[in-house]
Copies of this chain bind each other. A is one copy, B any other.
Amino acid sequence: MRDTVVNSNTVSVVEILDTTLRDGAQGEGISFSLQDKIAVVRALDELGVSWIEAGNPGSNPKDLEFFRLAGKLKLENSKLCAFGPTRKKGIKSEDDPQLQSLLDANTPGVVFFGKSWDLHVTEVLRVSLEENIAMIAETAAFLKAHGKTVIYDAEHFFDGWLANSEYALSTVKAALDAGADRIVLCDTNGGCFPDTIADGVRAVAEKVPGTILGIHTHDDSGFASANAAAAVKAGCRHVQGTLVGFGERCGNTSLAALIPSIEIKIGLPCLPGGKLELIYDLTRQVAEIANVSVPDNLPYVGGHAFSHKAGMHADGILKLSRSFEHIDPSLVGNERSFLMSEVGGRSAIAERVKKIDPSITRDHPVIAELARKLKELEAEGWQFEGADGSFELLVRREIAAQLAAQLPAQNAGLLPAPFFHIEAYRVVSEHPTGETLACSHAWVKVLVDGQHEIAAAEGDGPVNAMDGALRRALTRFYPQLGKVRLSDYKVRVIDGKNATAAKVRVLIESTDGIKRWATVGVSEDIIDASRAALVDSIEYKLISDIEQKTKVH
């Protein structure tokens, strides 16, 4: 009994199949341990995709153990499927060990792939065109007889259809007639344009009306999302991709980039209700497991997807958000941000200052002074984009400076004293005669509330040594610094034409286990630049803790 056959264009829900654990694993640098795979299955189930294509048990025996464990998970939304080829040429389905392993995986669904392109059949597979059709039909029938939902992936479908449309269509008809529940048309090489995809889908829909058609695209031409969207508009109601987008070569369609377009713009649900706003977080979870970053420019869920820089854009959004944003970022769990830079204007600065001190509005003299200072600092190589901690300190110092300028001189003591002052430091990198390795050590002397403290540390390099020494010196006075650690460190040479005398910009990301913040430092001396960024990092932590206490009381 075929599984839910309807006319595609009347079906109002799009089924999602995520192949992170199979096609995604074919991406360069991607590999999953057993525990990684279980974690990915959980995340995908939480998102609510219909199918999780979780491996190829025939080609990777470790996958059978995974399927055994995965089968015990209580999944709320998703069903698992195993992936493999048609039966081999020249043998019966029931005698093919790879097909047997698909059954052994014991999943509700099975995806099997076959050839649609006559060139592949004769030159790569090296069988006759008729034998290929038999291989497809017999595999579909075999899997259906064993009670599986059978999903047939027609590999290279569109290239095959362009080369020999009659043959390509006959291969998918064979799969369908033998019992396949889904016919998925694949642009395996990633070279097709959206209009070809739409034409191909319509041709199949005409040949086999009433079938649930699927689409599987790759990003070799940068058209993966557009091709999948075109296929859905042409009637496909099953879409395959990987959540983050990694996969063979340029990758698969990123489901995180595609699903919001289908749900919000085409208007067809893909996920259970309320799940779309989890996509920002769950994409990051899966990327974390795979040890890759979510690209900042990934549509909808990328870190920069709603980051506005041009002053005019920031101004426009504050007046009317849909004037510069194609969707409301909260629909996908993302949020908008304004980047600080010489291109941005006063509106953007005022927006950020408001979060630090709500009493300051766009016309306050502090805003003009900050705009001026920013332009000056940026000309010297400072950049506060991505350095929210240093930016906040800049703002606070400017507000304090304006306040001080208004106070009569005798009241200057009412202003808060600085947390600490670095009196002196010395950082040494050396490679003594006869030693095999270089070593670094540093001492730092600080002044806190009239008291001196000096501390020393060794390090993997000069910056690491200074970092360690500064922290040791200050933790005596501020024990909360013991919880702070650096989570990222970046160095950029500003205009390398001055070579080793060039200015460097150091960006540091810190965390105390609860929040994260970034700080910056610029100098021709990388030690000095790192010192500036480290000092800001520590001051930011100390100020934030006070602000936190002030809010509570």
Contact = CB atoms under 8 A, between A and B. Distances in A.
B309 A26 contact: yes
Interface string A411-452: 000000000001111111111110100101000010000000
B124 A525 contact: no
A386 B190 CA distance: 23
A544 interface: no
B459 A500 contact: yes
A386 B29 contact: yes
Q: Closest 8 A-B residue pairs measured CB to CB? A: A191-B326, A226-B226, A486-B499, A461-B525, A222-B225, A460-B524, A488-B496, A429-B527
Given A221-B326, A496-B488, A526 B461 contact: yes
A353 interface: no
Contacts of A297: 219, 245-246, 249-251
Interface string A465-490: 00100000000000000000111111
Nearest to A250: B297
A27 interface: yes
B433 A423 contact: yes
B222 A528 contact: no
A501 B226 contact: no
A53 to B, nearest CB: 14
Interface string A307-346: 1111111011001100111110000000000010111000
B429 A222 contact: no
Interface in A330-368: 339, 341-343
Contact of A324 (B188, B194, B496, B528): B188
Nearest to A529: B461
Given A249-B308, A250-B298, A385-B29, A440 B491 contact: no
A28 B323 contact: no
A463 interface: yes
Given A339-B28, A428-B427, A527 B461 contact: yes
A421 B405 CA distance: 59
A60 interface: yes
B461 A189 contact: no
Contact of A523 (B35, B461, B467, B528): B461
A518 to B, nearest CB: 11
Nearest to A191: B326
A504 interface: yes
A128 interface: no
A292 to B, nearest CB: 10
A211 B324 CA distance: 28
A283 interface: no
A168 interface: no
B28 A304 contact: yes
A508 to B, nearest CB: 7
A499 B467 CA distance: 10
A124 B326 contact: no
B119 A320 contact: yes
Contacts of A427: 428-430, 462
A485 B300 CA distance: 40
Copies in the complex: 2
B496 A59 contact: no
A489 B485 contact: no
Contacts of A275: none
A179 to B, nearest CB: 25
Given A245-B297, A461-B523, 16 more contacts: A27-B304, A62-B379, A120-B323, A124-B319, A190-B326, A191-B265, A219-B299, A221-B257, A222-B225, A425-B438, A429-B462, A460-B501, A487-B496, A487-B499, A489-B493, A491-B493
Mostly, the A contact residues are mixed
A342 B225 CA distance: 29
B191 A26 contact: no
A516 to B, nearest CB: 12
A123 B320 contact: yes
A19 to B, nearest CB: 12
A167 interface: no
A284 to B, nearest CB: 15
A438 B528 contact: yes
A491 B496 CA distance: 10
A502 B467 CA distance: 13
12 contacts: A35-B497, A59-B311, A193-B229, A222-B225, A248-B310, A426-B432, A429-B525, A459-B500, A461-B500, A489-B502, A491-B504, A491-B526
Contacts of A224: 222
Contacts of A525: 429, 438, 440, 460-462
Contact of A489 (B265, B430, B461, B500): B500
Interface in A247-262: 248-251, 254, 257-258, 261
A531 B437 CA distance: 12
A495 interface: yes
A523 B323 CA distance: 48
